[in-house]
Amino acid sequence: MKPQLCLVSTLLAWALSSQAHAYELLTPEMVTKLVPAESNLWFEAERAENVLKEQGRTIENAPLQAYVQQVMDGLYPEWKGILRVQVIDDPVYNAFAMPNGAVYIHSGLLARLENEAQLATVLSHEAGHVIYRHGYRLRNSADGLAVVTGLVTVINPLVGLLGVFTQTAGLYGFSRDNEREADRVAFQRLSQNGYDLREATRTFQMLAEEALAVKDTNPPPYVFATHPKLEEREDSFKALLVAKNAQGGELGKERFEQATRVLRQTQLKNDFQAARYTQLITAMSKVENRSRYGIEADFYLAEAYRLRKQSGDSGLARSSYSEVLKQQPQHIGAMRGLANLSYREGKLDEASSLLESILQTTPLSEADAGFARQLLNKVNTKRNPDAVATVASATPQEEKK
Ligand SMILES: [Zn+2]
């Protein structure tokens, strides 16, 4: 990854040194008459777009797709058909635009946003980069860039142009001035569309808070590295907000909730499976967040506490499991988790009664039944260490960690 880091810092240096050059803003009419250098860049972007699609990196969910596109079209009606939004299957909090109008929002970010006004903030900012031709300006800021990018593209197309745009020029990656330009156009469009402008500030504030909360995880999450940029976005929108003296406006909360529900549930599961426990806990320990995810949020929160094993986590896991079982007494996952926890804490009676309950549940999958029998065996062995364990030498899955 070293050469890429080098490329990134070089790109940034070039970008910062090229502010003096004046560029006309792109209009939809100009798109068919681009100069060869820019049209080549568009062609490369299209290739990167195809790579993402072929590799199955985008989420193919028609209603979700239609929704994010509709939000973008509402913000930039004259750009319909050129600004195309897609959702990338990726847990990081990021979004990026390619110079040809292909805008990507990562599923991790989309799942964490709270309403349509926040989504519109992200999309309108990214579209701003397209209209200000920041990608082209970045490319033009050094003669050798095309060669460098071209070389990397040969080695790995995804690390090539895509790398440049996801890592250098994503939601937080262009130069300070470029980012502010994108913020300004975003703010204007949000305002024209009647969105609550305070949500623009809130979007970045929320992400910055979460970045801080997970800064000690190892390895530090991508979002933390971009933290100063998040604060800059927050400040920049705050300044625009003060200037406009804006209050009120539309949130589009229900529309957003409905369109993104599937995504949120998947994201929760993905975070859990990838052992991103602290991120999951940071997001889900807030009641108002949990309510947007349904009962599974309490379940995964409990699981995350149980498996993270920091001081105080066991108690918190226990109360989250109880919350799930209060709402759904037959929730097998919660019974399994709580049985595991009780076993670990030496509460053998409780473990055994939970395991018996699992075995009496119908219908019961083979896997759940097997788990219950195995752990029951271990409980009995622990109670009576002199007796020879008959089955179960294997540790149940969740306890392995
Ligand atoms: Zn940006």
User: Could you state, in order of their start, the residue ranges of all structural domains in the chain?
Assistant: 2-251, 264-400
Q: State the distance from the centre of ligand 1 to the C-alpha of 396, rounded, in angstroms.
A: 46
CA of residue 166 to ligand 1 center, whole Å: 10
- The answer to whether 72 and 121 are in contact (CB under 8 A) is no
Q: How far is it, in rounded angstroms, from Cα 45 to Cα 57?
A: 15
Find the 182 Cα to ligand 1 centroid distance in Å.
6
Query: What's the CA-to-centroid distance between 274 and ligand 1, angstroms?
Result: 28
Q: How many CB atoms lie within 10 A of CB 286?
A: 10
Q: What secondary structure letter does DSSP report for 144?
A: T
Task: Return the structure tokens found at 201.
Answer: 């500030």
* Dist. CA 387–CA 385, nearest whole Å: 6
Dig out the tokens for 387 from the structure: 């007796």
Q: How far is the CA of 234 from the centre of ligand 1 (A)?
A: 12
Q: How many residues does the chain have?
A: 401
What distance in angstroms lies between residue 48's CA and the mean position of ligand 1's atoms?
A: 19
DSSP strand pairing (102-106 vs 84-88): parallel
The Å distance, Cα 159 to ligand 1 centre, comes to 19
Q: How far is the CA of 215 from the centre of ligand 1 (A)?
A: 22
pLDDT at 218: 53
CB 124 within 8 A of CB 190: yes
Topology of domain 264-400 in CATH is: 1.25.40
Q: In angstroms, what is the span from residue 128 Cα to ligand 1's centroid?
A: 8
What residues have their beta carbon closer than 5 A to ion ligand 1?
Answer: 179, 182
Residues of the chain with pLDDT under 50: 1-20, 143-144, 146-160, 167-170, 172, 220, 223-224, 389, 391-395, 399-401
Centre of ligand 1 from the C-alpha of residue 94, in Å: 10
Distance between Cα 171 and ligand 1 center (Å) = 4
CA of 391 to the centre of ligand 1 (A): 58
392 φ, ψ (degrees, to nearest 5)? 50, 80
**How many A from CA of 343 to the centre of ligand 1?**
49
Q: Which two tokens stand for residue 379?
A: 């409980």
Distance CA 37, CA 43 (A): 10
Q: Ligand 1 center to residue 175 CA distance, Å?
A: 8
Q: If you measure from the C-alpha of residue 112 to the centroid of ligand 1, how many angstroms do you get, rounded to a whole number?
A: 18
Ligand 1 center from residue 290 Cα (angstroms): 29
Phi, psi of 370 (to 5 degrees): -60, -45
Cα–Cα dist 38/190, whole Å: 28
